Amino acid sequence: MKKILIALEIEEKDKEAVRRCAQEAGVDCEIVFTTSAEATEEQIREANFILGNVSPKKIGASENLDVLQLFSAGADPYMPKGVLAEKTVLCNATGAYGQAVSEHAFALTMMLLKKLHLYRSSQLRCRWEDHGTVRSLAESTVLVVGLGDIGLSYARLVKAMGARVIGVKRRAGVCPEGVDELVLTEEIDRVLPEADVVFSILPGTPETAFFYTAERFRAMKNSALFINCGRGNAVAHDVLLEALQNGEIAGAAIDVCQTEPLPADSPLWQEEKLVITPHVAGNFHHASIYRGILKIALGNLACYLSGKPLGNIVDLSTGYKK
């Protein structure tokens, strides 16, 4: 008997879809429905297949666990040695977040370009103020750092507005639709000075920690905008604040922070040229995310039960989907 743990709050119709997966595969399954927060250590360590971002400590490198299917794209907490047994296959939800996060990032980009954050501040102060000229994406150069599902979705949005798009990725390949030029990560310093907008959607890996250094911000145009919806530790708080205060870049918007929640006494809150959203671009704030996760998870559950190859497998050496 296979023990399936669904550690994610799902709708009744989707619980029935999980049961159908087992029936269609002809495998005798014990299926438990709970949430990641409420899943017990016993349930986790007995499970053969888990859907959910359960506590890494409770997994304890269980030899029973064949597949851990996350509902997040990031897999950082599950990558260190000792969290998962060597036999366990880690799968993420890359592909479920493209629409939601790219639209959020696009909205932040337009907010900064049109100075809407400044007008909102004026409104709250009951001030009828003109904040001067604004800019357009048309004929701008946008640097997309991280060309996965989210990066490509964002690239297509800004491309549709007339931007020239430079994509940055780890490995060489064919330049995808919506991208005008493709460069490798190690070439980023060459193209940073060209960018009017830098959108970062890097995952959390040792190589991407504090990727945006003070030197890199100084290399950008002083009119450039920086948008981060990837990982908060891609840039240190003090480095970003200094770049804004010194006029090395014109503005920034972040959905992720080096420390979360961002402390109330952080000077970032008071920086007028910075827009902050509290890590809400993804999560389950848009219906497409839930639907995408269920599609990936049910597909992998069916493959697991029928002995077929899994999708969305995470490379534990890089944190990226293979």
**Active-site residue, selected from the candidate residues 104, 216, 231, 286:** 231
The domain ranges of the chain are: 2-96+286-306, 98-276
Asked if the domains 2-96+286-306 and 98-276 are classified in one and the same CATH topology, the answer is yes
State how far the Cα of 307 lies from the Cα of 36, in Å rounded to an integer: 26
The pLDDT of residue 316 is: 87
3-state secondary structure of 213: coil
Q: Does the pLDDT value for residue 282 go beyond 90? A: yes
**Active-site residue, selected from the candidate residues 45, 170, 218, 279:** 279
The pLDDT of residue 221 is: 98
43-52, 127-136, 197-206, 271-280: segment of lowest average pLDDT? 197-206
The pLDDT of residue 318 is: 82
The pLDDT of residue 88 is: 98
User: pTM value?
Assistant: 0.94
In the residue annotation, 279 being an active-site residue is answered as yes
The pLDDT of residue 197 is: 98
State how far the Cα of 233 lies from the Cα of 206, in Å rounded to an integer: 10
What is the CATH code of the structural domain delimited by 98-276? 3.40.50.720
Residue 204's pLDDT band, with cuts at 50, 70 and 90, is confident
Q: Does the pLDDT value for residue 190 go beyond 90? A: yes
The fold of the 2-96+286-306 domain, in CATH, is Rossmann fold (3.40.50)
In the residue annotation, 231 being an active-site residue is answered as yes
Residue with tokens 């200094």: 242
Question: In sequence order, what are the residues at sequence separation of 6 or more whose Cβ sits closer than 8 angstroms to the Cβ of residue 209?
Answer: 233, 234
**Average per-residue pLDDT for the chain:** 97
Residue 244's pLDDT band, with cuts at 50, 70 and 90, is very high
State how far the Cα of 309 lies from the Cα of 284, in Å rounded to an integer: 27
Query: Which is it for the CA torsion 202, 207, 210, 212, positive or negative?
Result: negative
Percent of the chain predicted with pLDDT > 70? 100
**Mean local confidence (pLDDT), 150-164:** 98
**Mean local confidence (pLDDT), 57-62:** 97
Q: Does the pLDDT value for residue 195 go beyond 90? A: yes
Q: Tell me if 230 sits within 8 A of 118, measured CB to CB.
A: no
**Active-site residue, selected from the candidate residues 38, 63, 207, 260:** 260
